[in-house]
Amino acid sequence: MSAKLPKENITRGSNGAHKLTPCPVFIGGEWREIGGVGTSPVFNPSRGETIAEVPLCGADVVDEAVEAAADAFPAWRDTPPVERARLFFRYRQLVEDNFERICRTVCREHGKTYAEARGSAYRGIENIEYACGIPSLLFGDTLENLARGVDCETMHQPLGVCVGITPFNFPAMVPLWMFPLALACGNTFVLKPSEKVPLTAVLMIELLEKAGLPKGVLNLVHGGRECVDALLVHPKVRAISFVGSSPVAKYIYETGTRNGKRVQANGGAKNYVVVMPDADVSNTVDALSTAAFGCAGERCMAGSTAIAVGKAADRVLPSLVEAARNIRVGPTDSEAQPDMGPVITAQHRDRVLSLVAAGESEGAKVIADGRGVKIADAPNGFFVGATIVDQVANEMTIAREEVFGPVLNVMRMADLDDAIEIANRSAYGNGASIFTNSGKAAREFKNRVKAGMVGINLGVPATMAMFPFTGWDESFYGDLHIQGREGVQFYTQQKVVTTRWFGDGVGDVWKK
């Protein structure tokens, strides 16, 4: 049974009417409203209501934020790592203390179910915990007597001002992939969350401020392309971390690197889940349902295409269709929680529906149809039910494009070789999974499939904070990935110091 959402989820004025939530920026340690600029609506996708207006900041506001971060950098860089770690110990406790409030905000502005909001927030907390270990993570190497009387050591030093540009689909988790580790490494930071979900970011930074964040170390701006472009070209920005669609990831990478920035840009995906004839049916159906329909399919690690090998389709599809039809869809901002919530906007809902229609027109067969879902108590919500499209061919539009909705494609292949070949034709390379009881098949799959994250009897092989999130090909642009030790390397630069001292025979060239 789904978890229940705590009360106090809707902000209303004294007359009971809906009240817009403030959406300030945070620059140099000060919260302020931005006027005189365009705005974009923030929706409660469960209701189709506007709950906030986010300011579309321009280059002038971005410049203030970057300058504040640059001014704060020298003092923060010189703060001992143990002291930076203590800030995040305090922050972790505050996030725990305000956990229900964070989850309510995610449910309200994104549409995740309460259980999904909790799960994603916990994954964010894991990144805070990882950042708390920064004194050990910044260890360098030493070698005494590299040559006679000569010692050598390495050290990891921060870059300066770093930037995080985050997507709508994980309002709490993805920012926590970025700024805790960046700050723990000694950098300062400017966060630009998705204009569709800015309220969770405001709350997360309020808590960090309460934990004792020094002024200017972390700054928050809002906006669209103008705001992003200003961050990409600002001369004082040293590094940019991005999560979003592949076309935008490519743009971020090319523009940022052209302007001398270090960039890690995580893009979209088309993740394949291979189901072998010997797969355990019950466990496979449960995992595949969660992978395809969890978070309404709005995640880059969604299992969006199932490849049924041999007789696997006959064994698994009947139960999978039944599971999809039994998924309860509804609003996530009320105490009674559904199994699946809405997608983020009406425009995105329409895009998902159009891709399903395109698959049907190109010869695929819809065997579980969520397109006609109606929610009586939320008639204006942006809902799509769980949908399964069978007999998908690789040349179809729905097979090539990332749907980013609760839609599972089913392809049928004769053997594992054919399944791996189809998966490897994808331009993306985030994740791939296999369900089997054969060690031989699992080993063959994990060695040959072209994806950065591989699952064996797991539908969503997303990594935890201590491991890097290793997308390949058009799922990632850059060299060093988010999370783990690669994340530490991304947010630092290595210095090598070679030392030799003369006098009293020390360091003198040895003579026979």
The domain locations on the chain are: 25-267+475-496, 271-456
Measure the CA–CA gap between 306 and 68, rounded to whole angstroms.
48
**How far is residue 243 CA from its own chain's centroid?**
6
Nearest alpha-carbon partner for 52 in 156, 186, 171, 159: 171
- For domain 25-267+475-496, is the CATH number 3.40.605.10? yes
pLDDT in tens, the chain (512 residues): 344 443 433 443 434 446 899 999 999 999 999 999 999 999 999 999 999 999 999 999 999 999 999 999 999 999 999 999 999 999 999 999 999 999 999 999 999 999 999 999 999 999 999 999 999 999 999 999 999 999 999 999 999 999 999 999 999 999 999 999 999 999 999 999 999 999 999 999 999 999 999 999 999 999 999 999 999 999 999 999 999 999 999 999 999 999 999 999 999 999 999 999 999 999 999 999 999 999 999 999 999 999 999 999 999 999 999 999 999 999 999 888 999 999 999 999 999 999 999 999 999 999 999 999 999 999 999 999 999 999 999 999 999 999 999 999 999 999 999 999 999 999 999 999 999 999 999 999 999 999 999 999 999 999 999 999 999 999 999 999 999 999 999 999 999 999 999 876 555 555 54
| CATH number for the domain running over 271-456 | 3.40.309.10
Residue 5: C-alpha distances to residues 2, 105, 170, 294, 474 (Å): 9, 11, 18, 17, 37
Nearest alpha-carbon partner for 104 in 7, 176, 18: 7
Q: Are 463 and 453 in contact (CB under 8 A)?
A: yes
300 is known as an active-site residue: yes
Q: Pick the catalytic residue: 107, 227, 295, 300?
A: 300
Residue 116: C-alpha distances to residues 172, 395, 406, 461, 485 (Å): 11, 33, 14, 16, 27
